[in-house]
Amino acid sequence: MNSDIILETREIVKKFGGIVALNNVNIEIEKGKITGLIGPNGAGKSTLLNVISGFLKPDHGSVVFKGRDVTGWLPHRICSLGLARTFQIVKPFLNFTVEESLLIGTLKKRSGSEAQELIDHVLEYFELDELRSKRCKELNVTQLKRLELARAMTTEPELLLLDEPGAGLNPSEASKFMKMIREINRKKKITILIIEHVMPIIMGLCENVYVLHYGEIIAKGCPRSVCKNKQVINAYLGEKW
């Protein structure tokens, strides 16, 4: 495995009954970069993230993270190796406070004053400090999105998987979120794989893009080249792009 590749999937197949959700999916994520994963609803994008992060076991193929075959590992083991993710549908611990939610992510690597120091930093970084004592069920969509990202960051990942972080955000909020993601990548040196339907986010953040359609990769490359691909235009983007 190339030392510049932090994550690789090899011929991943995942079926649900007679439905083939993923069919021989091969992707490579370069260390230090932001890579996009796009495609129509039902294309298999979230399924691929679930396979990579250990929430689903593939029927065939392998997942290699940091040079190690992690296929079939449980999520907490993969997380301890340095991979964290967010979810398309935010699922907070509703009766926990914001601070309590973040504490869970630190426990694998830190405790006591070290854990609190990390939590304080993350709360400030994601502009959640004033909300630390609020229960998660009291937060609005934007605040929950920030909490979801903050919770992933408390695990101190090397690779971060983001599942539609722009969903439900207005253009101003999405722009602010983009800036946050870019800073996480550049300043904190965290590699990112992002699923997103909001194309300005993909165009503004990603260096490489993969396109999934009916469980298969139909295109890959820089955002501009992918957007000019006729197959991608017909399957997903439409003539606007």
Q: What is the pLDDT of residues 109-120, one digit of tens each?
A: 777 788 888 999
**Residue 237, SS3 per DSSP:** helix
On the question of pLDDT at 77 being above 90, the answer is yes
This prediction has a pTM of 0.91
5-91+157-237 CATH fold? Rossmann fold (3.40.50)
Residues 6+ apart with CB under 8 A from 210: 27, 35, 36, 37, 38, 217, 219, 220
Q: What is the pLDDT of residues 167-202, one digit of tens each?
A: 778 888 888 888 989 999 998 899 999 999 888 889
Residues 6+ apart with CB under 8 A from 220: 27, 208, 209, 210, 211, 226
Residue 63's pLDDT is 98
On the question of pLDDT at 239 being above 70, the answer is no
Query: What span, in angstroms and rounded, lies between the C-alpha atoms of 164 and 46?
Result: 9
What are the residue ranges spanned by the domains of the chain? Answer: 5-91+157-237
